[in-house]
Amino acid sequence: MSIWVVAGVALFLLAAAMLALWLLLRARNMQNWIGSYLFRSRPPKVEGPIHVMFCFVDHFEPMWHGADLATQRSRVDRWCSEYRELASRHHDADGRPPQHTFFYPEEEYAEEHLDKIAALCADGYGEIEIHLHHDNDTESNFRETISRFCRILHERHGALPVDPASGEVRFGFIHGNWCLDNSRPDGRWCGINNELTLLRELGCYADFTLPSAPSDTQTSTINSIYYATDDPLAPKSHDRGELVRTGGRASGDLMIVQGPLRLNWRERRMGVVPRIEASDVRRGCPPTPARVDAWVDTGIHVQGRPEWVFVKVHTHGTQEQDMDTLLGSAADAMHSHLEQAYNDGSRHVLHYVSSREVYNIIKAAEAGKRGNPNDYRDFVLPPPPSSWAGARMRKVA
């Protein structure tokens, strides 16, 4: 066989391998972010303890799959009962139990459900923020929808903080179907190209939607905390932005707080292809110690403050197939591992935080603050009214 034949076969095999790799990447929409992952830089070495801020955000949807009222009540009641039991068995370095942030969908509003969740939060187990599913929306309808829901959550349920500087009700946001700023290529499940601007004007302090992989809405920016500037004429303006850094200042339209996104080589498909680690917690992706370690190792931080690491994970908490994982032994073991491996006081210090507290600690880092992040949980935005009421009731009791 001539050398030219051998070379031709080798080139053919190489081309076939490259095509197979490209098709594999496209099948999971990895072409959007794999370059950022492969050419990422490692977090810098840290002298002294690493403070780990652990934040669990929930796309909390009691009406999932068109459930009847009895099923909705069962879902909410189970959370209000079993989460208290789970969280009360754990605490961080500051003596606080795990904090669960319930991003509640506007389109699923039911007063009785929010009353129960607000009572759970008032007892010190979390906070309520805003989630929204919408499609083919308009700017005027979006403004009215968010403004109305902010008033309802704040005035009826004691949720959402008030900015002491402006007197404005502020909120954190997760976009339904991952489609922040009309980021789905076909334009479904949003419809608004200036959504970042609208959120800023309506009082949103930060977005917590990402990561969204393997969805095609995933940004090319990964494992980052950054400010995105809106292009009102184009979708997905948050694909890139300016990193939040110490000594910096707010810029653009909206802060984007991402959770860990990486490849999981421990759990490979067919023993070869790595799985996508997108910080999603459910039955099919239980929060194993190896995953917890990977989340912390990702090292998401404000530039210039690598000793403050932010771990934001997410779930859809009202789906029955996942509730045993989220409220049972798997979540219990996750918190035990966090407290055993990342709370020794010398190498690591653990802090359970809500999304609002994440924002406050980020802003403190941006302002150049150092030391114990626990001192900055309320740095810019105070707790919502339900927390004050709960604290008063606990003090009286």
Express each pLDDT in 255-293 by its tens digit.
999 999 999 887 766 556 788 999 999 999 999 999 999
Question: Residue 210 — very low, low, confident or very high, per pLDDT cuts 50/70/90?
Answer: very high
Q: Where are the domains positioned within the chain?
A: 49-396
pLDDT higher than 60, residue 27: no
Compute the average pLDDT of residues 104-109.
98
Structure tokens at 231: 């292009």
Of the listed ranges 282-291, 303-312, 357-366, 385-394, the least confidently predicted one is 385-394
pLDDT higher than 50, residue 395: no
Question: Sign of the C-alpha dihedral, residues 251, 254, 255, 260?
Answer: negative
Question: Residue 1 — very low, low, confident or very high, per pLDDT cuts 50/70/90?
Answer: low
pLDDT higher than 60, residue 225: yes
pLDDT higher than 70, residue 389: no
pLDDT at 297: 96
Q: Calculate the average pLDDT of the chain.
A: 92
pLDDT higher than 60, residue 396: no
Question: Residue 393 — very low, low, confident or very high, per pLDDT cuts 50/70/90?
Answer: very low
pLDDT higher than 60, residue 242: yes
Q: Report the predicted TM-score, pTM, of the whole model to 2 decimal places.
A: 0.92
Question: Sign of the C-alpha dihedral, residues 174, 222, 214, 264?
Answer: negative
pLDDT at 264: 84
**Pick the residue with more confidence: 394 or 266?**
266
pLDDT at 265: 80
Of the listed ranges 187-191, 221-225, 263-267, 274-278, the least confidently predicted one is 263-267
pLDDT higher than 70, residue 6: no
For residue 53, what are the contacts with CB-CB under 8 A and spacing of at least 6? 308, 309, 310, 311, 351, 353, 357, 358, 361, 373
pLDDT at 229: 98
Three-state SS string across 278-308, please? CCECECCECCCHHHHHHHHHHCCCCECCCCE
pLDDT at 29: 85
pLDDT at 43: 78
CATH class of 49-396: alpha beta
pLDDT higher than 70, residue 136: yes
Structure tokens at 327: 């409220």
- At residue 43's C-alpha, the angle toward residues 39 and 48, to 5°, is 170
pLDDT higher than 80, residue 19: no
